[in-house]
Amino acid sequence: MPFTHHSHSGQFCPGHAKDNLEEILQLAIQKRFHTFCLTEHMPRHQEDFYPEEIEAQDTEASHVANEAAYYTEATRLRTKYAPQLNILIGFETDYIRPASLALIQQSLATHDFDFFMGSIHHTCTVPIDYDRPMYEEARRRAGGTDEALFAAYFDEQLEMLRQVRPLVVGHFDLIRLQSDEPDGSLQRFTGVWEKVRRNLAFVAEYGGMLEVNSAALRKGMREPYPMGEICREFLALGGRFCLSDDSHGLAQVGLNYHRVLPWLEAVGITTVHYLAVADDDDNDGEGIVDPRFPRTRIRAISVEEMKKLPFWEGAQAAA
């Protein structure tokens, strides 16, 4: 798809991603993307640094400075490439505990972002997608089973959703990645499935979008995030979907979109949405979807119309 609402660069997410942000945008233009959203990670408290950040001797101050540098560079690049690509500047949350809310609010107060992606990457304060040993530690803290950890994950996700109401909800079922059965139906855990349905109903109620995230495919899973059964449930609630590659460098820009397209149709998703920044003559308050972001709008396009966009011509879609 010629849209992504989730991306990272090695320039502002070192150790986690690769490559220079401008080069990534240049590749997106070459691939004839329509919209490319920038979502580098927000600052975190030092107790939540990843091993590579500890090794690099990062500090909370250096994380704040990195975000400021990212925002400055993203603003420059949006101006430079505006005629060729719709670029939105956002960030991805790391909601780990209630204290994370203050960091999110600080980012929003400091920079004029267009949106943010609401994600959690931790459960019981332990990363659940970093590696298997950390996942196992989170599982131990949750009660010792995947079912208990999944239940804790969706409870903590609901807390994030209630606190920040993100326009875009990132990799809704990320908890599957390191689990014993990453492709297993969540309905096998009755209590977990009820929490999934509860969270989806909340997102639908406030008007958020779920990203269909192709990164799960490059990580060996059969379906994108969120899996088909979740998407069907959200569709039944009138929920909206956007599209993401969750790219962490040049090699992943648009990766596996050719696999996601028929999957969307199989699941029954006939319309996708994307974020846009209002033109000056469209910035009169009409169509505002979140008062925190008065310039940001949600647009819709049918999957059939999306197939006609230049992204799909020739070999533009990354295989």
Domain ranges of the chain: 3-312
- pLDDT, residue 1, reads 65
d(C-alpha 29, C-alpha 140), whole Å:
45
Which has more pLDDT, 28 or 315?
28
User: At residue 257, does pLDDT exceed 70?
Assistant: yes
- pLDDT, residue 312, reads 86
Q: What is the mean pLDDT of residues 247-272?
A: 96
Name the 3-class secondary structure at 123: strand
d(C-alpha 292, C-alpha 235), whole Å:
26
d(C-alpha 211, C-alpha 225), whole Å:
8
pLDDT in tens, 200-255: 999 999 999 999 999 999 999 999 999 999 999 999 999 999 999 999 999 999 99
- Chain centroid to CA 153: 16
d(C-alpha 110, C-alpha 306), whole Å:
35
Torsion of CA 114, 309, 219, 129, to 10 degrees: 10
Crossing angle of helices 190-206/146-164, nearest 10°? 10
295 with 280: CB under 8 angstroms? no
* Banded model confidence at residue 41, pLDDT cuts 50, 70, 90: very high
pLDDT in tens, 115-151: 999 999 999 999 999 999 999 999 999 999 999 999 9
Q: What is the mean pLDDT of residues 58-80?
A: 97
Q: Which tokens sit at 304?
A: 């059939």
Q: Which tokens sit at 236?
A: 């039944």
- pLDDT, residue 285, reads 53
Task: Look at strands 117-118 and 168-169 and give their pairing.
Answer: parallel
User: At residue 35, does pLDDT exceed 90?
Assistant: yes
Residue 58 half-sphere exposure toward CB, CA atoms < 13 A: 23
Q: Of all helices (H) and strands (E), which one includes residue 301? A: strand 296-302
67 with 11: CB under 8 angstroms? no
d(C-alpha 82, C-alpha 127), whole Å:
36
- 135 C-beta neighbours (distance < 10 Å), count: 22
* Banded model confidence at residue 313, pLDDT cuts 50, 70, 90: confident
Q: What is the mean pLDDT of residues 96-107?
A: 96
- pLDDT, residue 89, reads 98
- In the predicted model, what is the mean pLDDT of the chain? 94
* Banded model confidence at residue 273, pLDDT cuts 50, 70, 90: very high
User: At residue 58, does pLDDT exceed 50?
Assistant: yes
94 with 48: CB under 8 angstroms? yes
Whose CA is closest to 41, among 151, 122, 134, 149?
A: 122
Q: What is the mean pLDDT of residues 82-90?
A: 96
* Banded model confidence at residue 316, pLDDT cuts 50, 70, 90: very low
Identify residue 64 by its one-letter amino acid code: V
Whose CA is closest to 160, among 149, 171, 146?
A: 171
User: At residue 317, does pLDDT exceed 50?
Assistant: no
Q: Which tokens sit at 267?
A: 């699941």
Q: Of all helices (H) and strands (E), which one includes residue 117? A: strand 117-118
Query: The pTM is what?
Result: 0.95
Q: Considering the domain 3-312 in this protein, what is its CATH number?
A: 3.20.20.140
Buried b or exposed e, range 231-269, using 16+ CB within 10 angstroms:
bebbbeeebbbbbbbbbbbbebbbbbbeebbebbeebeb
- pLDDT, residue 140, reads 98
Q: Is the Cα dihedral 221, 226, 230, 236 positive or negative?
A: negative
